[in-house]
């Protein structure tokens, strides 16, 4: 199977580090030794490498359907606490039994199908309470240009406004997906159930195609205040299903990043401050340059370094 180089895509990397930060805050609510992590790591297992670096106490499981990709995963295995499973997501969900142990699960899809929402709903009903679930979906409005009827037919059961066409702008499309996931979570865990899905963050970004990602926890309704207290101090928290946040990191050289370090963190007019620090534009005009540099100011702690090496 052909895989894009997701391990070398900056916005995707920021999304991974945002998950690491969410788990760090989850740790304030419980012992991470009590958690298993499940994900779709792809051939390079990048998220698992990061998880092992930050949280070696978590047992990890990678779900992979393709046989050749599974073989590549064996080659790239980063640690002995990662267990590789050669199966598809639906088989995993059919067999999944938390056994009362808390889970962190990332359903990282590359497409957008109604079955993805079904998987999400099923998972919410099966994980132990105080688990964390993250889901990533393709968010390309161009897939449905002049195909509004097709979209409505496919997703009508979870659309907030079933008679409307999908919006043409990426931000609005991503927000629609979030609304659809909110409805899905409410269907899976209705108000008369003692647990609920509490969102903690949501983003949209491009990693070659536009994507939307939502992270939340499954928590007793009576303890929702404690969860919000832990996450509300996080700059990127989304605890009220408000609009998702854009990740759009500019490509900067190592020398440029080192130049900007002395100006970070920057709370007042970060885009303008960093543009003046560089002394030139990094995009076609001042507003776009400042918007890009504000993104860098926001996410610089999560932004990886990609360096050329000679093997």
- Token representation of residue 284: 């076609």
Q: Same domain for 92 and 184?
A: yes
Of the candidates 132, 178, 136, the residue with the CA atom closest to the CA atom of residue 21: 132
- Report strand pairing: 210-220 vs 102-108: unpaired
Range of the domain at 267: 254-302
Q: Same domain for 218 and 196?
A: yes
Q: Same domain for 203 and 292?
A: no
Domains: count for the chain: 2
Q: Same domain for 66 and 203?
A: yes
pLDDT per residue over 201-223, tens digit each? 999 999 889 999 999 999 999 99
Structure confidence at residue 285 (pLDDT): 96
Q: Same domain for 209 and 231?
A: yes
Domain presence at residue 310: no
How far is the C-alpha of 41 from the C-alpha of 53, rounded, in Å?
15
Residue 7 has pLDDT above 80, yes or no: no
Q: Same domain for 84 and 147?
A: yes
256 cis-preceded (ω within 30 degrees of 0): no
Domain presence at residue 308: no
Would you place residue 311 in the very low, low, confident or very high pLDDT band (cuts 50, 70, 90)?
low
pTM as predicted: 0.93
Structure confidence at residue 44 (pLDDT): 92
Q: Same domain for 32 and 55?
A: yes
Q: Same domain for 284 and 178?
A: no
Domain presence at residue 95: yes
Structure confidence at residue 2 (pLDDT): 47
Spatial contact of 101 and 129, defined as CB atoms under 8 Å apart: no
pLDDT per residue over 51-98, tens digit each? 999 999 999 999 999 999 999 999 999 998 999 999 999 999 999 998
Cα distances (Å, whole numbers) of residue 57 to 79, 129, 134, 279: 12, 20, 20, 45
Spatial contact of 178 and 170, defined as CB atoms under 8 Å apart: no
Structure confidence at residue 30 (pLDDT): 87
Domain presence at residue 198: yes
- 58-67: long-range pairs with CB below 8 Å, 24+: 58/32, 58/33, 58/104, 59/83, 60/36, 61/36, 61/37, 61/85, 62/38, 63/38, 63/39, 63/87, 63/88, 63/89, 63/92, 64/40, 65/89, 66/1
């Amino acid at each position: 199977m052909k895989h894009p180089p997701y391990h070398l895509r900056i916005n995707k990397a920021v999304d991974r580090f945002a998950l690491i930060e969410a788990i760090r805050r989850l740790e304030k609510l419980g012992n991470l030794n009590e958690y298993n992590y499940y994900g779709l790591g792809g051939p390079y297992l990048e998220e698992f490498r990061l998880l092992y670096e930050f949280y070696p106490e978590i047992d990890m499981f990678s779900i992979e359907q393709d046989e050749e990709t599974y073989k590549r995963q064996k080659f790239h295995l980063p640690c002995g606490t990662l267990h590789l499973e050669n199966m598809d997501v639906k088989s995993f969900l059919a067999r999944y039994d938390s056994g009362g142990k808390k889970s962190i699960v990332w359903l990282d899809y590359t497409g957008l199908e109604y079955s993805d929402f079904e998987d999400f709903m099923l998972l919410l009903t099966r994980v132990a309470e105080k688990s964390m679930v993250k889901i990533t979906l393709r968010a390309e409005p161009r897939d449905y240009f002049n195909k509004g009827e097709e979209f409505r037919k496919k997703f009508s059961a979870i659309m907030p406004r079933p008679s409307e066409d999908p919006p043409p702008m990426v931000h609005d499309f991503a927000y629609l997906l979030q609304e659809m996931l909110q409805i899905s979570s409410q269907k899976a865990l209705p108000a008369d159930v003692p647990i609920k899905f509490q969102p903690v963050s949501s983003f949209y970004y491009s990693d070659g195609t536009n994507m939307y990602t939502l992270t939340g926890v499954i928590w007793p309704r009576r303890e929702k205040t404690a969860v919000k207290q832990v996450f509300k101090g996080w700059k990127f928290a989304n605890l009220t299903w408000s609009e998702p946040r854009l990740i759009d990191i500019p490509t900067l050289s190592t020398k440029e990043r080192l130049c900007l370090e002395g100006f970070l963190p920057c709370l007042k007019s970060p885009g303008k401050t960093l543009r003046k620090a560089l002394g030139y534009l990094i995009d076609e005009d001042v507003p776009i340059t400042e918007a890009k540099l504000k993104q860098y100011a926001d996410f610089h702690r999560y932004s990886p370094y990609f360096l050329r090496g000679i093997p």
